[in-house]
A and B are shown apart, each in its own frame.
Chain A
Amino acid sequence: MEKARPLWDNPLQFVFACISYAVGLGNVWRFPYLCQMYGGGGFLIPYVIMLIVEGMPLLYLELAVGQRMRKGSIGAWKIISPYLCGVGVASVVVSFFLSMYYNVINAWAFWYLFHSFQDPLPWATCPLNSNRTGYEEECEKTSSTQYFWYRQTLNISPSMETSGTVQWEQALCLTLAWLVVYLCILRGTASTGKVVYVTASLPYCVLIIYLIRGLTLHGALNGLIYMFTPKLEQLSNPKTWISAATQIFFSLGLGFGSLIAFASYNDPSNNCERHAIIVSLINSTTSIFASIVTFSIYGFKATFNYESCINKVILLLMNTFDLEEGSLTADNLSEMKDYLMAAHPQEYAQLLPQLKNCSLEAELDTVQGPGLCFIHAGFVCFINCIIGLIFTMEAGNYWFDIFNDYAATLSLLLIVLVETIAVCYIYGLRRFEKDLHTMIGRKLNWYWKVMWAFASPLLIISLFIFYLTDYILTGTLQYQAWDGTQGQLVTRDYPSYALAVIGLLVASSTMCIPLGALLTFIRKRLKRERVSTVA
């Protein structure tokens, strides 16, 4: 007697689960950065094209496979072909790596949340130095918010070689983050089904609050104008199209096996085609909405820095040349500078190294983006928490960046490529089409068939080739280390053991696919031999 597969209480829970899975940091943080880098409003053109060509078809494929096979990732691919059990295992391995490092972000979020309950906020001012005559030296060189992040949150070491000790405050927050995860998954779909109502809607509430706050900030408009002015010449840059494709691919979370698992809890006649279109559209519109929020705040920050810079220059000039209050303003600054250069050339020349050239464009350009990044349940949570303690050490953030950049990227591309080829050519597109017709009751549109069979695999292959050549061409991999004495980031080479870890991360997930096929082949051979010897 087989236990019935648990189901979502209603289709809305499934949609919410997919939305809360897809909408994440990539929408809020990475998309605005890419949009601004690759042509502003013009970036929306490759983005929408990639959404239609790559995002929707691949999402529909994964959901359809899950709903049809009614098993998680490993089981579903075993049904399609026994040689493909490695694909499911590779998905699980990648998911495991991701959950290891991604929950650290939640730990940081908790840290900042708990520190928000004081006025003034701890990152608003620099702490005082030991004899209270001024502010901490490291904080003076950089800003109070960066100091709070690098010194008081991470307590980051100057390079990867000095790993330092586990920071107990971060370890506590990480433990709390894992306890929250455990609470949410404790009862399977029964608990997760209720939790997704909150996790899907809460980000939108927060984003709306941020939107209202951000748009009322001074200088918000500068950021929005800067971001959305289309620079159509970027469309000829191949990196624009590659970034759009990559962003769509990773933003939807394809290849982790989670979408297959979510869809397997659906009842078989659920219209997953409609849901795939809805989820991908919601994901992309959330990206655009979040970029409005993010860039209004970036615009405020850039304007604030620019105006502080101008004020410092004005104060310096007024003090040196004993000018009247109000004679120097932001508007007449450049004219007054020329006049002073002509009137008092020696003093002006002495002052020149201290006079910074303030530029609003330069402030907006310094917007940095993240790297590419991404009694059973209790055991998984516990193991992940213990391993995650690595990321709470002083050098932990560097290991975090390694995982963020390399644990998921290449492996996911390979996994989804194998998935698409498996469904179209190994299982058979016609057979799959018939299954879907039985399930949903409608005929499969020719558009999906063309995308699955030709367009999406070609696109993934080209992305894969691009990334491989990029990794090979750049030679030694480098990372950004925080130098406390200078108060800024410096580039360093990875030590050899870090390179070994990177290689292991990529290999452990990608090798599962050929290994799985090989193991199945050997097992079948042995069985055949055993049968033949018995006979």
Chain B
Amino acid sequence: MNGYLFSPFRNLLNISIISVSTICRISNVLLCNVTDRVSFWFVVTDSSKNTTTVPGSEVEAAIRMNRNRINSAFLLSDKTLQFLKISTTLSPPVEPSTPVWLIVFGVVLSLIVAGIVFLVVSGIQQRKKKNKESTERENLEEKGEVTITTENGIPCETLDLKAGHINGVFAADDERFTSL
């Protein structure tokens, strides 16, 4: 099983190191310290320079750049394929230019302000209409043409039936009175 995995890995490493430094021609990936779990150490040699190994920093840089391709070759992910000493960089979350919450806040705020303005303006208009009506009524009263019945200073129209409620104590109970 180990051999099955290592040859594509070798090929990939070849390609990735070639892309980093175009000068060296790599042909050997030597494996050592193989364990039961699929884990291994490796060094990369430069066949053109006989026994020198490619420095670790270059290998690290190559792997960092091509991490995605190495992962997908094994059908693994950053969590299941781990390179020691190469810490994974997590992808940053997608952030839109204006934060979403400000947009929603703006919408709600404009609705509320519109509601307040509407109520205030309609209140002013109603008061103007009422003033006009009361001045008209006063003029009519002066002419003596309309008498408005008032009860305790409250005009009878406002003492509407909806505010009244028959009180059981005072309601005339026909049976209490002797019939004529």
Which chain A residues have a beta carbon within 8 Å of chain B's beta carbons? 1-2, 4, 7, 9, 110-111, 113-115, 117-118, 125, 127-128, 131-135, 172-173, 176, 179-180, 182-183, 186-187, 191, 267, 269-270, 322, 437-438, 441-442
Contacts and interface: CB of A to CB of B under 8 A. Distances in A.
A132 B87 CA distance: 10
A221 to B, nearest CB: 32
B90 A133 contact: yes
B101 A111 contact: yes
Given A7-B163, A191-B119, 11 more contacts: A2-B153, A4-B159, A118-B100, A131-B89, A133-B90, A134-B90, A135-B90, A186-B116, A269-B167, A322-B36, A441-B169
Interface in B148-180: 153-154, 158-159, 162-169
Contacts of A322: 36-37
B90 A187 contact: no
A2 B90 CA distance: 72
A116 to B, nearest CB: 9
Nearest to B169: A441
A156 to B, nearest CB: 19
A111 B108 CA distance: 12
A172 B105 contact: yes
B104 A187 contact: no
Contact of B168 (A7, A110, A267, A441): A441
Nearest to A9: B162
Query: Most chain-A Cβ atoms within 10 A of its Cβ — which of B90, B102, B113, B123?
Result: B90
A179 B112 contact: yes
Contacts of A132: 89-90, 92
Contact of B116 (A114, A131, A182): A182
A115 B101 contact: yes
Interface in B112-127: 112-113, 115-116, 119-120, 123
A186 B169 contact: no
B88 interface: yes
Given A322-B36, A322-B37, A183 B165 contact: no
22 contacts: A1-B154, A7-B163, A9-B162, A110-B105, A111-B101, A114-B104, A131-B89, A132-B90, A132-B92, A133-B87, A134-B90, A176-B108, A179-B109, A179-B113, A180-B112, A186-B120, A186-B123, A187-B123, A269-B165, A269-B166, A270-B165, A442-B168
A134 B102 CA distance: 28
A118 B100 CA distance: 7
Contacts of B36: 322
B56 interface: no
B151 to A, nearest CB: 10
Nearest to A191: B119
Nearest to A135: B90
Contacts of B102: 114
Contacts of A191: 119
B169 to A, nearest CB: 5
Contacts of B169: 437-438, 441
Query: Most chain-A Cβ atoms within 10 A of its Cβ — which of B87, B88, B102, B169?
Result: B169
B68 to A, nearest CB: 16
Interface string B91-110: 01100000011101100110
A180 B111 CA distance: 10
A133 B89 contact: yes
Contacts of A182: 116
Given A132-B89, A180-B112, A187 B153 contact: no
Contact of A176 (B89, B93, B112): B112
A441 B167 contact: yes
Contact of B105 (A7, A9, A176): A176
Contacts of A267: 163-165
Contacts of A133: 87-90
Contacts of B163: 7, 267
Nearest to B89: A132
B104 A128 contact: no
B150 to A, nearest CB: 8
A183 B112 contact: yes
Nearest to A4: B154
A433 to B, nearest CB: 13
Contacts of A111: 101
Nearest to A186: B119
A437 B169 CA distance: 8
A115 B100 contact: yes
A176 to B, nearest CB: 6
A141 B47 CA distance: 48
Contact of B119 (A131, A134, A183): A183
Contacts of A125: 93
Contacts of A186: 116, 119-120, 123
Nearest to A10: B162
A267 B159 CA distance: 12
Contacts of B158: 4
Contacts of B100: 114-115, 117-118
A351 to B, nearest CB: 18
Contacts of A180: 112
A179 B101 contact: no
B167 A117 contact: no
A1 B153 contact: yes
Query: Most chain-B Cβ atoms within 10 A of its Cβ — which of A135, A191, A267?
Result: A267
